[in-house]
A and B are shown apart, each in its own frame.
Chain A
């Protein structure tokens, strides 16, 4: 482990997801990656501006980038797990090059492929995902030291614009609840939540 990741407090994804949702006051879009990431978002209260990914592991950030480009006046947040991000690291450099001011990425890092049986990811002891993001060109990338720091980083990202990335070390607690697995309905509700008519 390197730098501030080593010192960051191990927190809880559901707790942090609820803190994030509480901070959203302007119908911000939230795109959650597969598995526990979207289970916890689902259980944090239904919002029409939430998109729950059901497959396509690794694509939460690219989807969020697309929404951010389409709706530059709406802030867009991507929630992604460490294993998912490691599958699609190139997307960080694409985000950095496009540099959308309205995009924030939050990475939940428990060093585990949690939902597949708890196998360790490269971030368990070697790869530093915030350092990778910074090296990809997302200058505003930081580990959240604790819950208060997470709240501060979220507020800063929403206020000052991005792109930015917040890394949060989390425990191995399972996700709370499960999403309805109806992709057409999820997509249709999300578009309605964004005020988009087909």
Chain B
């Protein structure tokens, strides 16, 4: 739970606390500007083992191994990174029934300035739907803890991955400096 404090908790503080309350100790990421405060907080908290992988599918392999070894893990990536993982999802995570927790910082919508990002974003939900992978687009702070907490519990209970797409409506996104 988030401690009582004078200001409302930031989205990344809610994610961190929810990971912790669900005993998710490993976080492997490919860096993303919007996720920077979450990544910094994961590094700063000794509860977590947090480090960068060179590629998103590598990060998925690492947390798959960790799960099988008894350690819960999450992967953090950007929308464009999602484009690199369908094979790892379809041939490792889904068939082996690994409850991978995947956080995607959503680019490509709501003010995107890079066409490459915008196109990859369009592939994301159809890919997840075609693999029947549970996924939630989170736009509201007041729903964040509920969705993440319940979905982590469901992932573990049903041995299935879940993808959290964190919308710019939640995180502020990345803004084009015009």
Footprint of B on A, CB under 8 Å?
29, 31, 51, 53-71, 74, 88, 90-91, 93-94, 97-98, 183-184, 186-187, 190-191, 194-196, 198
Chain B CB count within 10 A is highest, among A56, A67, A191, for A56
User: For the complex, is B97 an interface residue (Cβ under 8 Å from A)?
Assistant: yes
User: For the complex, is B90 an interface residue (Cβ under 8 Å from A)?
Assistant: yes
Expressed in whole angstroms, the Cα–Cα distance for A190 and B48 within the complex equals 25
Report whether A59 and B90 are in contact in the complex, using a CB–CB cutoff of 8 Å: no
Report whether A64 and B97 are in contact in the complex, using a CB–CB cutoff of 8 Å: no
Expressed in whole angstroms, the Cα–Cα distance for A66 and B65 within the complex equals 4
Expressed in whole angstroms, the Cα–Cα distance for A80 and B141 within the complex equals 44
Report whether B96 and A66 are in contact in the complex, using a CB–CB cutoff of 8 Å: no
Expressed in whole angstroms, the Cα–Cα distance for A61 and B53 within the complex equals 12
Q: Which residue of B49, B58, B70, B96 is within 8 Å of A62 (Cβ)?
A: B58
User: For the complex, is B92 an interface residue (Cβ under 8 Å from A)?
Assistant: yes
Report whether B54 and A183 are in contact in the complex, using a CB–CB cutoff of 8 Å: no
CB-CB under 8 A for A187 and B96, given A55-B90, A55-B91: yes
Interchain Cβ contacts under 8 Å between A and B, 21 examples = A56-B61, A56-B88, A56-B92, A59-B64, A62-B65, A63-B61, A63-B64, A64-B65, A65-B62, A66-B63, A66-B67, A66-B69, A67-B65, A70-B26, A70-B67, A70-B71, A88-B58, A90-B54, A183-B97, A194-B70, A196-B69
Report whether A94 and B61 are in contact in the complex, using a CB–CB cutoff of 8 Å: no
Report whether A198 and B156 are in contact in the complex, using a CB–CB cutoff of 8 Å: yes
Expressed in whole angstroms, the Cα–Cα distance for A68 and B61 within the complex equals 12
Report whether B97 and A70 are in contact in the complex, using a CB–CB cutoff of 8 Å: no
Mark each residue of chain B from 51 to 78: 1 if its CB lies under 8 Å from any CB of chain A, else 0.
1111101111111111111110100000
Report whether B66 and A91 are in contact in the complex, using a CB–CB cutoff of 8 Å: no
Write the chain A residue with the least CB distance to B55: A90
Q: Which residue of B65, B70, B87 is within 8 Å of A65 (Cβ)?
A: B65
Report whether B96 and A88 are in contact in the complex, using a CB–CB cutoff of 8 Å: no
Report whether B65 and A63 are in contact in the complex, using a CB–CB cutoff of 8 Å: yes
**Chain B neighbourhood of A186, CB < 8 A:** 96
Expressed in whole angstroms, the Cα–Cα distance for A164 and B69 within the complex equals 20
**Chain A neighbourhood of B87, CB < 8 A:** 55-57
Expressed in whole angstroms, the Cα–Cα distance for A196 and B68 within the complex equals 7
